[in-house]
Amino acid sequence: MATYQFGEVMETVVTREEFSNEKAKTVLSGETIAVIGYGVQGPGQALNLRDNGMRVIVGQRKNSSSWDKALADGWKEGESLFEIEEALQRASVIAFLLSDAGQIALWPAVRKYLSPGKTLYFSHGFGITFHEQTGIVPPGNVDVILVAPKGSGTSVRRLFLQGQGINSSFAVYRDASGLAREKALAMGIGIGSGFLFETDFRKEVYSDLTGERGVLMGALAGIIEAQYQLLRSRGHSPSEAFNETVEELTQSLVPLVAENGMDWMFSNTSVTAQRGALDWKVKFRDAVAPVMEELYDSVADGREAKRVIESCSAADYRQRLEKELAEIRESELWKAGSVVRQLRPKK
């Protein structure tokens, strides 16, 4: 483990140099890891663990689309692909990677197979942190750990195949064996993390829910819609409004931020853009700050968890979700985006 200075704060970060894949394989050498759920995070984590030499099986409902996807990815029925309860029985490490609502529904079955000495692994702190609403309370004689990749399951796999690695947080909720921290780090390296930073279950879910609703998705989608609609209402064409709102952001500016930071992006734009951005960022920051406070409080007091559980557990949730996504997809903004993407030069 190495210590790095983040501004005035010193943090310990674990990389592959300090915790190699060979060490991870040694830590997990006697374990059978059952990845339960093959939806968002399941495929990337399971495939990376398998490719890194760990003993992995997948638990999924038979005759589902996810079962078929697992077969297509090379998991073999009766060897490495099982019905969920059989996978739970065979596992010594249960990687519980269903959606938050799915975890609540399956928890009674999972709880039944948490015999002493097993490890319960999460990639999100939701179920444990909001246990009063989820009912997820593990027994005291099992390790409970977390590795949370900071990106989608597709990114976990894509970066692994590119020889890179996504950054992840890790946490230990319960160390029944005395080896929980080592197991968490081994799982983090095994799923393809480039580096791991330590947190706890509560902080992970608070930051994650805030980030998803804020800058990463909710705020981004909202501010894009607001600017596009403004430009259209002032007489700009769909292509111009889209290019100035989305295309330049995603194709030019965000890559510059990723490369060397916000100041690097500013320094590589025109003086006019630079000056305007520096002046107006303060106005946007001050306008958004109260919304961010409201958002964090809504996460911390459990209102967001309640909303997620009630909405996502409803029988007609998938139909309502598809209607909401269709409204976005069929809007002029994202129809314009579809045309612009087709016009990009082919690689």
CATH number at 223 reads 1.10.1040.10
Establish if 227 belongs to a structural domain.
Answer: yes
Pair 73, 220 in one domain:
no
Pair 172, 253 in one domain:
no
**Active-site residue 124, yes or no?**
yes
> 50, 55, 118, 124: which is the annotated catalytic residue?
124
Domain that holds residue 288: 211-343
Domain boundary among 148, 176, 199: 199
CB 266 within 8 A of CB 278: yes
Pair 160, 109 in one domain:
yes
Q: Nearest 5°: CA angle at 160, between 156 and 163?
A: 150
Pair 167, 281 in one domain:
no
What's the structural domain count of the chain?
2
Pair 229, 129 in one domain:
no
Establish if 21 belongs to a structural domain.
Answer: yes
Pair 215, 195 in one domain:
no
Q: What is the pLDDT of residues 311-325, one digit of tens each?
A: 988 989 999 999 999
Pair 117, 250 in one domain:
no
Establish if 241 belongs to a structural domain.
Answer: yes
Q: What is the pLDDT of residues 271-292, one digit of tens each?
A: 999 999 999 999 999 999 999 9
Domain boundary among 166, 199, 232: 199
Look up the pTM and report it: 0.92
Establish if 325 belongs to a structural domain.
Answer: yes
Establish if 204 belongs to a structural domain.
Answer: no
Answer whether residue 346 shows pLDDT above 90: no
Establish if 90 belongs to a structural domain.
Answer: yes
Residue 62 burial class via C-beta count within 10 angstroms: exposed 0-12, middle 13-18, buried 19 and up: exposed
Strand 81-82 relative to strand 166-174: parallel, antiparallel, unpaired? unpaired
Q: What is the pLDDT of residues 202-223, one digit of tens each?
A: 999 999 999 999 999 999 999 9
